[in-house]
Amino acid sequence: MRSLRLEPATYKAARGRPDLPIFHPMANPQAVPVKLHLEPTLGVSYIAIIFSTMLYGLTCLQTFIYFVSAPRDPWIVKALVIATLVIDSIHEAFLIHAGYYYFILEFDNTVALQRVVWSLLATVFCNGVTGLLVESFILWRVYHMSGRNVYLCIVIGIFILAHIGTNFAFAIQGLDDPLFTKVQRQTGSAVSELVFGAVADVGLAVSLAYYLYIGRSGRKSSDTVVNKLILYTVTTGLVPSINDILTLIVHLALPKAFYDQFFNFLVCELYTNTFLATLNVRASVRALAQSSSAFESINIATVGIDRAPRWKPIRKTRHSGTAALPTYAVSVTQVQNAESEVELKVPNAAVHTRHGLSFMSATDSDA
């Protein structure tokens, strides 16, 4: 361990502080050897910053892939991508500043090492803002895929707001008294934030998977594509919730160490990469659907944020033993991000609605 010597003024200021456990005053205040056990504190933070930087590089790569592969997306989605990238960049800058503060500027200042620097608390706000943007986007997808199920979206939305609210509350409480020992005692707000975040993320992932599952057409080729999409949705959507659960377990098991901060430093990057992966997977889904001859059976609007198909009603027909079904001439733009736009036209197709999702089946009214 490194041995440090305190200046007399620093020693006198620290002597009356029982909440600074790393001080071990000796008989001579002019030369006080102090052993700093930094492995469970700054050591964990150092490793977490390295992993966060690696994930930030992945964020930049996924952002580049998105703008190359999705030039036709609505401007609001592009603005959301830029916003998440900017917030993630600010989050990484705050982490670098906090690391430089503790590892370089104040490494020999044992009093400063006991205080939470402002940039470290600012990263908590970045986590909250990014979580709000990404979870709101996924909730918007659930709203449309569920046939505008308002009640489901309200329930999930309450957990999202509770997650973000407790996140901001934790950061504000830390600004009032920025001592690590005081911040670590905020168990109530920390646990609430992690629980609300895990429930919200699990609810979003399960809802997406459920509505993709019930939206299968019954054809083997298209169902294979949808099943792979469900697996991808669940695995990527559960990453933030797994991170919250691990943070909660470590926080409760080792409250005096900073091991939970390792997962907390990765929250912003995990949300951003989950969001970008959701957008970038559409190109792979289209390619897989085309190769499996299931292209015309998949409503790509359920995959990402492509514009919904425009249905043009022509007339109504009646079938014996069934309710009246409208017959449509369908012009659906399935691929918006390819080099050449592919347009599928299915004349005289009846649109059946089940669980809020549209399915096409040919009618024999004009056969």
Q: What is the pLDDT of residue 108?
A: 77
- Structure-derived torsion over alpha carbons of residues 214, 215, 216, 217, reported in degrees to the nearest 10: 130
Q: What is the spatial distance between Cα 340 and Cα 359, in angstroms, rounded to a whole number?
A: 25
Half-sphere exposure of 274 (CA within 13 A, CB side): 28
- Asked whether the beta carbons of 324 and 318 are under 8 A apart, the reply is yes
CA nearest to 85, candidates 61, 67, 59: 59
Q: What is the spatial distance between Cα 271 and Cα 91, in angstroms, rounded to a whole number?
A: 12
For 50, counting Cβ atoms within 10 Å of its Cβ (0-12 exposed, 13-18 middle, 19+ buried), the class is exposed
Task: Give the mean pLDDT of 193-219.
Answer: 91
The DSSP call for residue 89 is H
Q: What share of the chain is helix, strand, coil (3-state, %, to 5)?
A: 65, 15, 25
For 295-304, what is each residue's pLDDT tens digit?
444 444 444 4
Backbone angles phi, psi at 116, to 5 degrees: -90, 115
Task: Give the mean pLDDT of 236-262.
Answer: 90
Helix ranges restricted to H, 101-186: 118-145, 150-176, 180-183
For 258-289, what is each residue's pLDDT tens digit?
899 899 999 999 999 999 998 998 887 777 77
For 30, counting Cβ atoms within 10 Å of its Cβ (0-12 exposed, 13-18 middle, 19+ buried), the class is exposed
Q: Which of 123-127, 158-162, 337-341 has the lowest mean pLDDT?
A: 337-341
Q: By three-state DSSP, how is residue 265 classified?
A: coil
Residue written as token pair 């736009």: 341
Please count the other Cβ atoms lying within 10 Å of the Cβ belonging to residue 138. Answer: 24
Residue 354, by phi and psi: left (phi above 0), alpha (psi -120 to 50) or beta?
beta
Indicate the pTM of the whole model: 0.73
Task: Give the mean pLDDT of 166-175.
Answer: 89
At residue 355 the predicted structure's pLDDT band, cuts being 50, 70 and 90, is very low
For 303-323, what is each residue's pLDDT tens digit?
445 444 333 333 444 444 444
Which has more confidence, 232 or 88?
88
Strands in the chain per DSSP E: 3-5, 33-35, 310-317, 325-335, 342-354, 357-362
Most confident residue range from 2-6, 10-14, 36-40, 212-216: 212-216
Which domains are seen in the chain, by residue range? Answer: 3-35 (no CATH), 42-291 (1.20.1070), 309-362 (no CATH)
Q: Please, what is the end-to-end C-alpha distance for the chain in angstroms?
A: 86
Which has more confidence, 270 or 237?
270
